[in-house]
Chain A
Amino acid sequence: MVLETETVFVVDLLAIFAIYVIVNLSLNMEFGFAGVPNFGKVLAVGAGAFVAASIPGRIFASMAGIEGDYIVDNLLIVHQVDLWLVDNVGIGFAIFFLTLGIAAAVGGGIGLLTSYPAIRLRGDYLAITLLAFGESIRIIGNNYTPLVGGTLGVQVPDPLSFLPDEMRFPAATIGLVAIAAAVYVFSEKMMRSPLGRMLRAVRDNEMAAEALGKDSTRIRIKVIIVSAALAAIGGALYSFYVGGTIAFAYDRASWTFWPFLMILIGGLANNKGVLIGTLIFVTLRKLIIFFKDSFEGFVPFDVVWLDFLLLGIILLVILLYRPQGLCVEKPTPTLARPKSSEHGVKRVFNLLFR
């Protein structure tokens, strides 16, 4: 069975959509709800991807007893690991989830470390510090070869290698969508809890919140850690999905700028807006890449820059003429007290759509 072009298009679109939903939900938590201008989102995403690139492959290789230098013989080792994983599905999944856990821990730690120097200062200092750190992750990845193989990148083992080739991507996509849905539910629950309301209070009037006894620095650090952990999970998943990590893929445009664009299209502090914004952006981007070849030859430059130009202008237009985005922020619906009569499925439905 060979997949049709349209199916591949939709499957890939859904997978990228799911990954960006995770990253954007984490950014929305930070920027939309708490007002923390994290211009170094790429840092946490990249940290997750680097964890996925450097840790699971080495664990698998030592478990399977494969010899050799993990970076130098990377292609060979990962190929052998993938063959070994065909017979060890359970271990594969266990290590996969363990990696996501490590990625979340590393991401959260990096989020704390990079924001700590500027967390007490005005927002622009925090923004500058995070942006500067975000620019640095690529340099470390490029130069420190044992991490992600430097400029050549590394392959990431595939826990789904037991599946036949044509089933691999659809299965991975289903998994990604499921994880994204879980993150969505988690984020909604968190934002409807007292914590979520406190975040908005700190964002809208820090002084008032502090007068009521809320420690705004602590709450900001908390949200940065949680959000960086989620973004790192997103980065690790992206690494697993594309089957490799290369440092220069983690640049400011892809993982800081596009997420900001997406949450601003959808509307800040609104998780439904995140879904809509991400869907619009990912579809638009996919179509631009899809039809790029037909523009080639008409213009005397690489068409990829038209894409940058267009998206930059779209963002400026949104900021100037529709700063609230497509979905306007609404007052928080609080979590309903669980009633014994209410069915479990209905509660999940209410959480998602009400």
Chain B
Amino acid sequence: MVNFVFDPIFSDAIIFASLLALLSIGLTLTYITTRVPNFAHASFATIGVYVALVVTHVWGLLPYVAIPISFVISGIVAVLLYTLVLKPLIRKGASAAIQMIATLAFDLIMIAILNITADYIVKTYHVTSREFSLRSYDIEFMGLPAIVIIAPITIAILAIALHIGLRKTKFGIAMRASTENSDLAGTVGINVKLIYGVSWLLGGGFAGIAGALMSMWFQGDPNLGQQIIPSIFAASIVGGFLSIQGAIVGGVLVGLTEVLGTRFLSGEFGSWLIAYRPLIPLIFIVVTLFFAPKGLAGINWSRLWRNGSRD
């Protein structure tokens, strides 16, 4: 039993920060392959939200069943984006800007399909499919909604598994080699295209898991992606875009600041401030770009430490 009164704002903060970290890891996994930000990333999460809706309302199962299913579906969609759109574009020598526009176009197609799915679910199963919440389907654990504990644990497990996978397994080492120098990796016989495909599968899949978890606490909507994309990019920019650890730190930092900072400021200055919460990621982006454009991962911490102690 939990004896103290657990303010729901902390649940908000914990869940949002964990999910942002997971989404940011996924974005990093796709970014290191093509070096182009994927603007469709947030919609991979929206897919997970709808998988969770179908699992609970149509199949009548626990929402946690949606986690593996949404991993597979979002992962496959991400691989489709990579193999059908980005790979041919790169082969034809398209610029980074053209590839970014292609991901925007893919995002638009996904938003259309998600909206069509939402309409279809309403017409066929007569359940709310816009601005819905699955919070009441969650189970209780130690007097708390289980998601508050499961979200950070899931992120921790996935991050540790990814870390071990990248450092210890042969496949992980091949993956790091391919992202650092794809030509050289190809020369020593690594199938770079396959590695990149797996990276996209993982990146999209992680976003799908984040979406499935998100539906159990936050409101689900086909346009969810557009609401969270500034936060995801802020987290990735803070983290430096190229490192998994940076993505985790960035996600937690931006997520906690968004939820707790808004709460604190609205307590000080009045509740009208809550509506300006989406400006927080923008502030993070601007401050990071001004002071540490390579993000937290790009700062040379040991040198900073040495200089600091010498003063």
CB distance from B121 to the nearest CB of A (A): 10
- Whether B233 pairs with A309 at a CB distance below 8 angstroms is no
A133-B282, A252-B226 given; A125·B289 CB < 8 A: yes
Residues of chain A contacted by B226 (CB below 8 angstroms): 135, 252
Q: What is the CA–CA distance of A345 and B99 in the complex, to the nearest angstrom? A: 43
User: Which A-chain residue is minimally distant from B222 (CB atoms)?
Assistant: A305
- Whether B281 pairs with A300 at a CB distance below 8 angstroms is no
Given pairs A305-B115, A319-B105, 6 additional interface contacts (CB within 8 A): A35-B95, A132-B229, A132-B234, A253-B108, A311-B108, A319-B101
- Whether A312 pairs with B106 at a CB distance below 8 angstroms is yes
- CB proximity to B under 8 Å, residues A214-267: 252-253, 257, 260-261, 264
User: Which B-chain residue is minimally distant from A313 (CB atoms)?
Assistant: B109
- Say what secondary structure dominates the interface of chain A: helix
A124-B36, A125-B289, A315-B105 given; A301·B120 CB < 8 A: yes
A139 at the interface (CB under 8 A from B): yes
User: Which B-chain residue is minimally distant from A316 (CB atoms)?
Assistant: B105
CB distance from A223 to the nearest CB of B (A): 15
B119 at the interface (CB under 8 A from A): yes
- Scoring B residues 1 to 44 as 1 if CB is less than 8 Å from chain A, else 0, what string do you get? 00000000000000000000000000000000001110100000
- Whether B85 pairs with A320 at a CB distance below 8 angstroms is yes
Residues of chain B contacted by A305 (CB below 8 angstroms): 112-113, 115-116, 119
Q: Can you list 25 A-B contacts with CB-CB less than 8 angstroms, sorted by A residue number?
A: A31-B97, A37-B96, A37-B97, A39-B100, A124-B100, A125-B237, A131-B229, A132-B234, A136-B230, A253-B108, A257-B108, A260-B101, A260-B104, A301-B120, A302-B115, A302-B119, A305-B119, A308-B108, A308-B112, A312-B112, A313-B109, A319-B101, A319-B105, A323-B94, A323-B98
A interface residues with partner B (beta carbon < 8 Å): 31, 35, 37, 39, 117-118, 121, 123-125, 127-129, 131-133, 135-136, 139-140, 142-143, 252-253, 257, 260-261, 264, 300-302, 305-306, 308-309, 311-313, 315-316, 319-320, 323
B186 at the interface (CB under 8 A from A): no
- Whether B123 pairs with A300 at a CB distance below 8 angstroms is yes
B145 at the interface (CB under 8 A from A): no
Q: What is the CA–CA distance of A121 and B237 in the complex, to the nearest angstrom? A: 12
Residues of chain B contacted by A124 (CB below 8 angstroms): 35-37, 96, 100
- Scoring B residues 58 to 88 as 1 if CB is less than 8 Å from chain A, else 0, what string do you get? 0000000000000000000000000001001
User: Which one, B243-251, B262-270, B272-280, B299-307, is touching chain A?
Assistant: B272-280
CB distance from A135 to the nearest CB of B (A): 5
Q: What is the CA–CA distance of A131 and B97 in the complex, to the nearest angstrom? A: 13
A132-B230, A311-B108 given; A117·B290 CB < 8 A: yes
- Whether A308 pairs with B233 at a CB distance below 8 angstroms is no
- Whether B116 pairs with A301 at a CB distance below 8 angstroms is yes
| Complex partner residue of A121 from B39, B89, B123, B289, CB under 8 angstroms | B289
B293 at the interface (CB under 8 A from A): yes
User: Which B-chain residue is minimally distant from A318 (CB atoms)?
Assistant: B105
- Say what secondary structure dominates the interface of chain B: helix
A136-B282, A308-B112 given; A301·B101 CB < 8 A: no
- Whether B285 pairs with A257 at a CB distance below 8 angstroms is no
User: Which B-chain residue is minimally distant from A256 (CB atoms)?
Assistant: B104
| Complex partner residue of A125 from B101, B272, B293, CB under 8 angstroms | B293
Q: What is the CA–CA distance of A133 and B37 in the complex, to the nearest angstrom? A: 16
Q: What is the CA–CA distance of A188 and B194 in the complex, to the nearest angstrom? A: 47
Residues of chain B contacted by A139 (CB below 8 angstroms): 275-276, 278-279
Q: What is the CA–CA distance of A301 and B289 in the complex, to the nearest angstrom? A: 43
B168 at the interface (CB under 8 A from A): no
User: Which A-chain residue is minimally distant from B233 (CB atoms)?
Assistant: A128
CB distance from B297 to the nearest CB of A (A): 15
**Chain A to chain B: the 5 pairs with minimum beta-carbon distance, closest first:** A301-B119, A308-B112, A143-B275, A312-B109, A312-B108
CB distance from B31 to the nearest CB of A (A): 9
CB distance from A112 to the nearest CB of B (A): 13
B111 at the interface (CB under 8 A from A): yes
Residues of chain A contacted by B55 (CB below 8 angstroms): none
| Complex partner residue of B105 from A123, A252, A312, CB under 8 angstroms | A312
B170 at the interface (CB under 8 A from A): no
Residues of chain A contacted by B120 (CB below 8 angstroms): 300-301
Q: What is the CA–CA distance of A118 and B289 in the complex, to the nearest angstrom? A: 6
Residues of chain B contacted by A316 (CB below 8 angstroms): 85, 102, 105-106, 109
B286 at the interface (CB under 8 A from A): yes
- Whether B275 pairs with A319 at a CB distance below 8 angstroms is no
Residues of chain A contacted by B234 (CB below 8 angstroms): 132
B124 at the interface (CB under 8 A from A): yes
Residues of chain A contacted by B111 (CB below 8 angstroms): 308
B92 at the interface (CB under 8 A from A): yes
Max chain A C-beta neighbours (<10 A), residue from B109, B279, B293: B109
